[in-house]
Amino acid sequence: MKSKDKEFITSVVTDRIVRLKSMLGAERRALKALENDDFCYVVTLTSLWADCGEKTSTADGQSLSEAVKRAEDMFRKLNNRSDIQAARRYAIRFPSGSEVELPTNPKREIK
């Protein structure tokens, strides 16, 4: 292998290691926050009619049901609707701002 190629590949791998260490630190902080109940639930509703001008709503709450209710209420108000036609995204957000996405149907798994 040429010296320049080896330098480049070494640089790429080293940069990746730095990023992974940073990500690992963030995940450890997230676990600590989770142990201390220091997080909130976040629900995002992306309208199935977004290409027609409907808007996305995002809301948080201390419980999943609270976040869902807030996001749904906001969605109805923003889009002047009585129903919800949207793709749903569930996550938990930590004080650091990092988020962990939850399964598509967390109500079944999270009480």
Instruction: Give pLDDT tens digits for 35-80.
Output: 888 899 999 999 999 999 999 999 999 999 999 999 999 999 999 9
Mapping DSSP onto H, E and C, the string for 54-100 reads CCCEEEEECCHHHHHHHHHHHHHHHHCCCCCCEEEEEEEECCCCCEE
Q: How many CA atoms lie within 13 A of 52 on its CB side?
A: 5
pLDDT tens for 2-41 read 888 889 999 999 999 999 998 888 778 878 888 888 899 9
Domain layout of the chain by residue ranges: 40-105
Non-local CB neighbours of 39 within 8 Å, separated by 6+ positions: 33, 92, 93, 94, 95
